[in-house]
Chain A
Amino acid sequence: MLRLFGLAALAALAGGVASVERKGALQLMLSRPIVLAPLMGWLLGDVEGGLMLGVPLELLFLGGVNLGGSLPDNETLLAAALTSMVIPAGMAAGTGVDAPLAALGLTLLFPLALYGRRLERASEARNQQLLDAALARAAQGDAAAARVNLRGLLLPFGAAAGICALGVLVSPLLAWVRSICAPGTLSALEGSWHAIWAVGAASAMRAIRDERAAAIAAVSAAAIIALIVTARGLL
């Protein structure tokens, strides 16, 4: 039990920092799912499991882009929460992160990407209070009025940290669900995971916003498949 709280604290810290890095600070892409999920996996004790979650998530949200005031889905919040919940669940269930568990966790938490966008809007609205504070201080002749800037990081940090901690704390429930799955359910969930991957591949082609992208991708896919199938002597 104590261990679970320790993991929750770690996940909260990592998820909080990532949600800040995503837009408010640095933007070195440490908060992208393909980096964040293995990183949090490592913190929580299963780096490979994190990578298994991170790659398809990265693909699903590859085309999301923040253009001016228009916000994309929040892939960071989803990746952080998913890792927080699925990694400890896999360890508790003794299965590690396998396709059924990953599919289960992802379908359960996917709305967090949309929720994360709403959270960002709320955070922006709150930042207007910081702007008001800065303007008031500047009007009084304070040349360091804009130092309130960094306070804008608190809300995204706190919200993501709370969600990630919660994810770790409810992970035993997910582990329990995973452990009572019948073989038929498991193969159904595995099918689900392949389907999610397929959407990821489609989303990857969409992310390259170019008229010829789909055609180039189709040719490249066909060539690679032909090459590998021939090499394996399966034809």
Chain B
Amino acid sequence: MKESAGVALVRVDNRLVHGQVLEAWLPALGAHGILVADDEAAGNVLARSAMALAIPPKVSFQVVRVDAAAELLKPGGKGPQAARTLLLLRDVRDAVALHEQGVPMPKLNLGNIHFRAGRKQVAPSVFLGGDELAALERLASEGTEVEVRAVPGEPALPLAEIKQRFRV
């Protein structure tokens, strides 16, 4: 599957913009843009201005609703501002939504998914629910390579391993 034009990586991270993203992933990917696709952040002025505060001057930064992101990233869409952009999503369901709306997703990185009742720990900072795991397996069966990895320096945990840890 071809990657969406301009998207260097799709990452699910409950915390969206934070240190791991800016200090570890941007340099490792050689990316100079961040696109946050999140309905809540898009509608929250405080969230947008706080995130903008943390973004280095040379990095382009957009916050849009998930539907708007799908429009941008679909084949034939306008694409993100920067040629190499890191796409940040808050939850697994947002990744599913984008994929269902036709956004190519050759790879999906899970960075931080916090504990919530019904979620089980599969990595130090990733907790998943049964429904989320099923959704990830569906994505994988349609060609997405799913991994858990907080920072690029760590070894990536493939979906098979995630499933095994979930069952324990």
Question: Chain A: residues with CB nearer than 8 A to chain B?
Answer: 65, 67-70, 121, 124, 209
Contact = CB atoms under 8 A, between A and B. Distances in A.
Interface stretch (B20-28, B39-47, B64-72, B87-95): B20-28
Nearest to A72: B153
Contacts of A68: 15, 18-20, 112, 125, 150
B151 interface: yes
Q: 3 tightest CB-CB pairs across the interface, nearest first? A: A69-B125, A67-B19, A70-B150
Interface residues of B, number: 14
B22 to A, nearest CB: 9
Contacts of B151: 67, 70
B138 to A, nearest CB: 27
A70 B13 CA distance: 14
30 contacts: A65-B23, A67-B18, A67-B19, A67-B23, A67-B24, A67-B150, A67-B151, A68-B15, A68-B18, A68-B19, A68-B20, A68-B112, A68-B125, A68-B150, A69-B112, A69-B124, A69-B125, A69-B150, A70-B20, A70-B24, A70-B124, A70-B125, A70-B150, A70-B151, A70-B153, A70-B154, A121-B124, A124-B124, A209-B23, A209-B27
A67 B124 contact: no
Contacts of A70: 20, 24, 124-125, 150-151, 153-154
A67 B20 contact: yes
Contacts of A121: 124
A67 B27 CA distance: 15
A124 B123 CA distance: 13
A153 B69 CA distance: 44
